[in-house]
Chain A
Amino acid sequence: MIEYIRKHPEKVLGALTEHIELVLITLVISLVIACLLTLLAMRSERVSDALNNLFSVLYSVPSLALFALLIPVTGLGRTTAVIVLTLYNQYILLRSFTAGLRDVDPAVCEAAKGIGMTDMQILTKIRVPLARRAIFAGIRLAVVSTIGIGTIAASINAGGLGTLLFEGLRTINTPKILWGSVLSALLAVSINKLLKMVENRL
């Protein structure tokens, strides 16, 4: 294994960088969409249930299948990967966000409404600050999930650590396989740990 990285450091580092880029781009887009969907979901229980059902159905589709379904529409490569990963993230984010926001002490929310705060003010000044841990936990889970599912993205030319993994499997190159899997796992575990530390301080 050590010999492999001594001979091809750019390959390993390149794959790692691609993977991190993929995760970051997906995260930003996922958050924007999740925030908009959460605003919709908070207005009505029915909309909230409908959205949750939609995304849980999508989440249950195996990632390789969802990638394959989108290829005729958006082609091979990173775009398709980002779209699929973002769709998966909505399941996690929407659920955590709405559950956290709804879980805030009802007496506090009733008092807020009674003294004359608008629904939006109650959301931003009361619910969000009090639900910050649940919200952040949702983000953390989404990031870790993206790191994991992102390895499959290599199968549709989106790059990332999966590249090492798949090439290694194809050519039975053990060091490659190991580097691909070990780095993915390390990335997931260390990011999870880091974000958990932040979450505990919230």
Chain B
Amino acid sequence: MSVIQYENVCKKFAGSSKYAVDHVSAEIESGEFITILGSSGCGKTTLLKLTNRLYDPDDGKIIVEGVDIKTVDPVELRRRLGYVIQQVGLFPHMTIKENITVIPSLMKWDKRRMDERADELLKLVGLEPAEFRDRYPHQLSGGQQQRIGLARVLVLDPDIMLLDEPFGAIDAITRLNLQNELLRIQGSLGKTILFVTHDINEAFKMGNRVMVMNEGRLLQFDTPREIVQHPADAFVKSLIDSARTQEKFWEGAL
């Protein structure tokens, strides 16, 4: 059953004659890990923000869990989806526990439930609750902050998560760990994930299927294997080739 449907979605920003998102259509099934790949300005972040109504489309429809999101209250939609940005944006004046339980506290959960949930999520993302719950964001490393960012959006147990280059600002070693953690979490919880990245290796490693975008258009949407074996156009082919060239370098060096 498809959990997200993009139907001819278009978005233009004021003052620009070019489409930021240009007639994108795609269907995403429940439990899939979809990576959205493209370089800066290709529309991948805009597509993500259209999905949780941080932007509204100029044309076309987006259907989430069977409902046209135009008819849904944006705040309620955003709480139902999870959304993580590259800089994470942890609230510097709140402890880690308070950061994680921001939305539950606005929804008036009782204290004990919030404390338990915070500890549960800290364990899930691989951080010791007793050590981290009362710390402040500035006391954490970049990788740890990203883990808290994930914990914060998992608090309401959303079925769908939107991640915008979450590991972009992380060093390569930590990124590898976080990628594996995320795959583990997604595998055990069965969530549908949309993961934006400009890194072709990350996109192909993480995604069941990959959306390749350029200049607002969706060029190809398929499994990594299919894309490598049958690139849809010259641009996709050039992406594959650039990754291959890198691989050859490593093989040559060894």
B190 within 8 A of A: no
Judged by DSSP, the binding face of B is mixed
Task: A110 to B85: give the CA distance in the assembly, Å.
Answer: 8
B-side contacts of A129, CB under 8 Å: 93
Of the residues B79, B89, B153, contact of A105 by C-beta under 8 Å: B89
Give the distance to chain B from A39, nearest Cβ to Cβ, in Å: 18
For residue A126, which residue of chain B has the nearest CB?
B91
For residue B76, which residue of chain A has the nearest CB?
A116
B-side contacts of A141, CB under 8 Å: none
Give the distance to chain B from A127, nearest Cβ to Cβ, in Å: 11
**A-B Cβ contacts below 8 A, count:** 61
A2 within 8 A of B: no
Give the distance to chain B from A126, nearest Cβ to Cβ, in Å: 6
Give the distance to chain B from A163, nearest Cβ to Cβ, in Å: 45
A118 within 8 A of B: yes
Task: A116 to B79: give the CA distance in the assembly, Å.
Answer: 5
Of the residues A108, A115, A121, contact of B83 by C-beta under 8 Å: A115
| Contact-residue size bin, chain A (C-beta under 8 Å from the other chain) | 10 to 19
A113 within 8 A of B: yes
Q: Are A114 and B91 in contact (CB under 8 A)?
A: no
Of the residues A107, A108, A114, contact of B54 by C-beta under 8 Å: A114
Of the residues A105, A107, A114, contact of B78 by C-beta under 8 Å: A114
Task: A4 to B201: give the CA distance in the assembly, Å.
Answer: 86
B253 within 8 A of A: no
For residue B82, which residue of chain A has the nearest CB?
A115
B-side contacts of A117, CB under 8 Å: 75, 102-103, 106
B114-145 vs A, CB cutoff 8 Å, 1 = contact: the mask equals: 00000000000000000000000000000000
A130 within 8 A of B: yes
Task: A126 to B106: give the CA distance in the assembly, Å.
Answer: 13
Task: A107 to B165: give the CA distance in the assembly, Å.
Answer: 14
A-side contacts of B92, CB under 8 Å: 105, 108, 130
Task: A125 to B106: give the CA distance in the assembly, Å.
Answer: 10
Known A108-B92, A130-B92; judge A115-B103 contact (CB<8 A).
Answer: yes
Binding site for B on A (CB under 8 A): 105, 107-118, 121, 125-126, 129-130
4 extra interface residue pairs, beta carbon distance < 8 Å, beyond A111-B89, A117-B103? A108-B90, A115-B83, A116-B75, A118-B75
Q: Which 5 A-B pairs have the closest CB atoms?
A: A111-B89, A116-B79, A114-B83, A116-B78, A107-B87
